[in-house]
Amino acid sequence: MKTVRSLVITGFGVNCEVEMAAAYKLVGADVRIVHINQILNGVISIHDYDIINFPGGFSYGDDLGSAKVLTNKIKFKKMKSGNSLFDEIERFLGDGKYIFGICNGFQLLVKTGLLPNVTGRNEQETTLTFNDSGHFEDRWCHCSTHHVNKTPFLKNIERIDLPVRHGEGKLIVRNEKIGKMILDNSLNCLSYCDDEGRATAEYPLNPNGSQFACAGLTDPSGQIFGMMPHPEAFISVYNHPDWPKLLEMNHNSGEDGDGLKIFKNIVEHIQQK
């Protein structure tokens, strides 16, 4: 069976790379953590990997808005080849490969225009900005998946509890036309929800006030997935604040955390391809 090669990109304030890499290792991937400068300087090629991952953190301190400086570096800094890293990412996606962004990584994917990219122009169509609460949110949330979604990351997942850790997680859509295209194409694939699984704008169930109660987006191809909650922070049942109850309720399901399912899904999908 194919060994999936997973690239986890770090540097300049990204700080969740070790947890993300640990999740991939647990589901059998060959994973490497790489500083983005190694890619920009031509030491590492993204094309040697099956999936690129942008972890959470505070790239460049979010000084110009979450992930904005890193976004500009990816889109406009020229590499030795004369291409930008963004040019290489477009080629990477053209080869049918995958990209995953969590929290700051999701903010990056949105601001580069890779998500949701409903027009196919790689233009910024949405943003992730300051939470309605006006402060950093660090809490566990219920999330539900759209019954029709295009991303293999969420296969066979209906409900999932995950922690959020962000100050700028509120999704705002550029205009009504873009919003309609997101909904019509089921790109709003992960939502904050209540105990019954219903998408909600109610705080604190929705920790930031996102439009469409959005906790995650995919692109029309399903190759790119970004989410604000942290699945890499729930790779063991013991990560959950109510782990004794979970073990009691699911005594035959082992000790894996539900967040691990997302990593397992994409690794198995790439293997099967």
Q: What are phi and psi of 8, to 5 degrees?
A: -110, 120
With 0-12 / 13-18 / 19 or more C-beta atoms within 10 angstroms meaning exposed / middle / buried, residue 184 is exposed
**Is 230 annotated in the active site?**
yes
**Is 103 annotated in the active site?**
yes
Q: What is the C-alpha to C-alpha distance for residues 130 and 22, in angstroms, rounded to an integer?
A: 29
How many other C-beta atoms can be found within 10 angstroms of the C-beta atom of residue 1?
A: 7
Q: What is the C-alpha to C-alpha distance for residues 97 and 259, in angstroms, rounded to an integer?
A: 21
- Of 103, 141, 143, 214, the catalytic one is 103
- Of 142, 166, 230, 240, the catalytic one is 230
Retrieve residue 19's tokens.
Answer: 């947890």
What residues form DSSP beta bridges with 31? 6
DSSP line for 140-166: EEEEEE-SS---GGGTT-SEEEEEEEE
Secondary structure letter of residue 5 according to DSSP: E
Q: Tell the residue number behind the tokens 């460049």, with chain if given.
A: 60
- Of 17, 19, 125, 232, the catalytic one is 232
SS3 at position 56: coil
- The residues annotated with a catalytic role in the active site are 103, 230, 232
